[in-house]
A = this chain, B = another copy of it.
Amino acid sequence: MRNVAEPRRRRAATEEKLTRLLDVTEEIILREGYASVSSRSVASRAGIQAPLVHYYFPTIDELFVAVLRRRAEPNVVKMAAAMASPEPLRAWWQLASDPRGTALLLELIAAANHRPALKAEVGKVAREIRQMQMDTLTSILGEYGLDPDVFPPALIATAMQGVAFALVADEAAGHDTKHEQARAAMERLMASLEQRRVQ
């Protein structure tokens, strides 16, 4: 008799196909934009037929949500580790400056504009991560010699995210906006903040 709590046994190929579908979808989003994601475009790149995409993800909304979730879950863990590391700000910036992740997030935010299910998920993830960042910042801000009246946690969190956004946007738009200088300066700034930190 089969386990009642697991009425469905999945075949081995299924797991691999699920991740392949998510990989392909990410790739399409990054190269052609979220609007190019369709059951047919995903299927053809994955070497399967369109209806099979709907077998795994009944609606395209669920596909987008799955893409976001797969990225977000390890990121929550990584961000928690960064917050607990010996150099929280630098570790944070290192995470935030992943261009693929940031570009993907930008697209998903834009896509969420007309996909309520995705919008809800983006909001959930954003709140969870932001809360974690705010908690840590509140407790360690003093060690960096930063006045919380001038640089409150909310501003610092927004700035970290925002600079990452702007860098990715600049790099995508055209290659003459000195983003290299900005990125280098940001790294120096993080290094010097960590150095002046008193624990």
Where the two chains meet, the residues of A that have a C-beta atom closer than 8 Å to any C-beta of B are 32-36, 106-107, 109-114, 119-120, 122-124, 126-127, 130, 134, 150-155, 157-159, 161-167, 169-170, 172-174, 176-179, 181-182, 185-186, 188-189, 192
Contacts and interface: CB of A to CB of B under 8 A. Distances in A.
A174 B113 contact: no
Most chain B Cβ neighbours within 10 Å, of A113, A181, A188, A192: A113
A126 B177 contact: yes
A105 to B, nearest CB: 9
Given A159-B166, A185-B155, A173 B119 contact: yes
A111 B161 CA distance: 21
Contacts of A173: 109, 112, 119, 122-123, 126
A178 B173 CA distance: 29
Given A32-B114, A130-B177, A159 B158 contact: no
A194 to B, nearest CB: 14
Given A33-B111, A34-B35, A111-B33, A162 B154 contact: no
A189 B155 CA distance: 10
Contacts of A35: 34-35, 111, 114
**Residue in A119, A124, A172 with the greatest tally of chain B CB atoms within 10 Å:** A172
Contacts of A34: 35, 110
Contact of A185 (B106, B127, B150, B189): B150
